[in-house]
Structure 1
Amino acid sequence: MSSPEWRTRLAVTLTAGDATVTITPIDTFTPSFSMNVEPLHSVEASHIGAIFSPPTINFSMTVKAIGDVVGRLTKLALDGTTFDISMLEQVGDDWTFSSFVLQNCLITSASPSTATVTGAPTATFSGFSLSAEVDPKTGEASSVP
């Protein structure tokens, strides 16, 4: 029995206006979705329905402060410019999705690390997205909202 060989590498890109740039070198990218729904209760019965609130889509990414990507992200944050973030397979075919796109993103915080004599400094950017699209390898694509 052979063990799986995970050779897939993901690429994270940002698109602002007409320019698309690969975010590299990137340490982490963490998107999170919250589909805000809660049960509806009544004095007559419990769990009689559900109340849906708009979904929230947040992200956090840590990028090495090498090259111009940290500068571009900082400028987008300071200018309040919206941009798209895409995750897609760069090498291999092990990933679950064909593509994963956060659209109309805004950065809400930026935290640069301390510069040291060893290793490159990093910067962590956090924000939210107004919409998202996922295209799984099997099944239908989906979007929020």
Structure 2
Amino acid sequence: MPTWMSTRLAVIVDGDSANPLTPIESFTPTFALNTEVVHSCEATHVGWIANPDSYTFSMSVKAIGGAAAQLTRIAMEGTEFEIGVYEAAGSTGEWDFTHVVLRKCLITSANPSNAMVNGAPTATFSGISRQAEINDGAALTRPTFTV
């Protein structure tokens, strides 16, 4: 049974997966794979048109140790980064996805929380990803429509 204690999602900069920038406390991805059904005068549902995919996310990190400040700098500089699974040695099988989840990410907004009396404050970052990859390392692509 997975314990969820030895693997986490992490922010990876410059492909340096051995030294992730920070673990992610909470993560909410949104995948919008927009399509539109095509109809004709003779028949319905004769095909479909694929609009550009949209991968967005919201993540929260602890605002301690400089991680939130580094992510803010990354946002302001427009530096791309990755969000990947960071596993401790010997901890396999805890996640469905065992490979980098989102690549070519850019932060679009940042929202730090208020300081707290007990516990560490968090910072929430929203962003986009220009490429999604799951498990095998191949970029996700949708099939093309042929007649």
TM-score by length of 2: 0.79
Partner of 1:12: 9
In the TM superposition, 1:1-145 aligns within 5 A as 5-8=1-4, 9-17=6-14, 19=16, 20-24=19-23, 26-90=24-88, 91-135=91-135, 142-145=138-141
* Structure 1 unaligned blocks of 5 or more: none
Closer, same or farther: CA 96–44 of 1 in aligned 2, 3 Å = same
Deviation at 1:94, TM superposition (A): 3.1
- 1:23 maps to amino acid: T
Say what the alpha-carbon RMSD is for the aligned residues. Answer: 2.1
Misfit runs of 4+, over 6 Å: none
Deviation at 1:131, TM superposition (A): 0.7
- 1:66 maps to amino acid: I
Deviation at 1:43, TM superposition (A): 3.5
Deviation at 1:18, TM superposition (A): 5.9
8 Å contact from structure 2 (residues 10, 83) kept in 1: yes
Partner of 2:144: none
User: Hey, which of these two has a bigger chunk of strand by percent?
Assistant: 1
8 Å contact from structure 2 (residues 75, 107) kept in 1: yes
TM-score by length of 1: 0.80
Aligned pairs, number = 136
8 Å contact from structure 1 (residues 12, 22) kept in 2: no
Kindly, what percent of the aligned residue pairs are identical? 42
